[in-house]
Amino acid sequence: KAGVTQTPRYLIKTRGQQVTLSCSPISGHRSVSWYQQTPGQGLQFLFEYFSETQRNKGNFPGRFSGRQFSNSRSEMNVSTLELGDSALYLCASSFLTGYMNTEAFFGQGTRLTVV
Amino acid sequence: DQQVKQNSPSLSVQEGRISILNCDYTNSMFDYFLWYKKYPAEGPTFLISISSIKDKNEDGRFTVFLNKSAKHLSLHIVPSQPGDSAVYFCAASANAGNNRKLIWGLGTSLAVNP
C-alpha cells in the first residue's frame, strides 16, 4: 500500500510569491490534515479536509488556504509569502475523522524556503 | 497557549537503559493521546496511543502511562537502542461534536548513546 505522497519535496520561493503544495493520501483515506513544522513552534495544525470539506482549521492567516478533490488528494496554497513561512509542511491522512482512531499517517513533507 | 507541553526539549540516555519522555496537558477534555517518532527529513510515524479509560498501554519496548489526575503522560522505552534516537511528539485529542483534531507538543529530541 503506497504511503502519503507530498510534492514537491523541496521548494525555494521569494517573498511575495505564492506557492501550491500537493498531498496524495493513502488510498481509501478521506481525511487529510496539513501541518507546519518549525524548530521553535513544533507541529502547528493548519487545517483538515474530509470529503472535500474543511472540517477543522488552525490559527493561521487567510494567506493559507487549502482544498481537497473528489479523489481525496489535497492542495495547500500560501499567497504573498513571508520569510517566516519557511518551514517543513507536513500532510497527514487518516481513515476516519471525528472518531477515537485519530492515528494519522504522515508524508515526508515539503521543505519550503522563502528568500 | 500550549495545551500539550513537553517540557524537556532534549534527553540523552545510554544504550540499554530506560528512556522516559514526559508530556503534560491542560485540557481535561482530552481523551485520546498519541506518541509519534520523527527522524530528520521524514514525517512523524505513529508509535503508540492510549485512551483516557486506561492508565497504561504497552507495545514491545514502548509503554505509555497516563495519570489523568495529574494531566500527565509518559513514554517509557526499555531498553533504549541507538535507533530510537529521534524527536518524539506527544499529541492529544478531544471529541468536539463529530470533529477531532490533534494538538501537538513541541517534541523532545532523544539521543541514545552506544
For the ranges A12-16, A48-52, B68-72, B80-84, which has the lowest average pLDDT?
A48-52
pLDDT > 60? residue A100:
no
The arithmetic mean of pLDDT across residues A100-108, rounded, is: 77
B114 close to A (CB below 8 A): no
Most A-contacting residue of B101, B103, B109 (CB-CB within 10 A), to test interface: B101
User: Are residues A98 and B32, on separate chains, in Cβ contact within 8 Å?
Assistant: no
pLDDT > 80? residue B41:
no
pLDDT tens-place string over residues A27-43: 988 889 999 998 767 78
Among A92, A55, A54, which Cα is nearest to B99's? A55
User: Are residues B100 and A106, on separate chains, in Cβ contact within 8 Å?
Assistant: no
For the ranges A35-44, A51-60, A83-92, B10-19, which has the lowest average pLDDT?
A35-44
Q: Distance (Å, rounded) from C-alpha A72 to C-alpha A32? A: 8
User: Are residues A106 and B44, on separate chains, in Cβ contact within 8 Å?
Assistant: yes
Residue of A104, A107, A109 lying closest to B102 (CB–CB):
A104
pLDDT > 80? residue B29:
yes
Q: Distance (Å, rounded) from C-alpha B114 to C-alpha B104? A: 30
| Chain A residue whose CA is closest to B44 | A106
Instruction: Output the CA–CA distances (angstroms, integers) from residue A10 to A70, A113, B44, B78, B90, in the order listed.
Output: 26, 8, 17, 36, 26
Q: Cell digits for A70?
A: 473528489
A32 close to B (CB below 8 A): no
Distance (Å) from the C-alpha of residue B87 to the closest C-alpha of chain A?
10
Residue of A41, A99, A108 lying closest to B43 (CB–CB):
A108
Q: Cell digits for B63?
A: 509503554
The pLDDT score that the predictor gives to residue B1 is 67
> Parallel, antiparallel, or unpaired for β A110-114 and A10-13?
parallel
User: Are residues B43 and A45, on separate chains, in Cβ contact within 8 Å?
Assistant: no
Q: Distance (Å, rounded) from C-alpha B23 to C-alpha A107? A: 24
pLDDT tens-place string over residues A50-69: 889 998 888 899 999 999 99
3-state secondary structure string across B34-78 = EEEEECCCCCCEEEEEEECCCCEEEECCEEEEEECCCCEEEEEEC
- Answer for the pair B38, B89: CB distance below 8 angstroms, yes or no: yes
**Which band of pLDDT confidence, cut at 50, 70 and 90, is reported for residue A96?**
low
B106 close to A (CB below 8 A): yes
Q: Cell digits for B20?
A: 522516559
Start-to-end CA distance of chain B, whole Å, equals 37
User: Are residues A106 and B43, on separate chains, in Cβ contact within 8 Å?
Assistant: yes
Render the burial of A57-78: b for 16+ CB within 10 Å, e for the rest: ebebeeebbbebeeebbbbbeb
Residue contacts between A and B (CB atoms, under 8 Å) = 64
Q: What angle do CA A115, B2, B3 make, to 5 degrees?
A: 140
- Answer for the pair A30, A72: CB distance below 8 angstroms, yes or no: yes
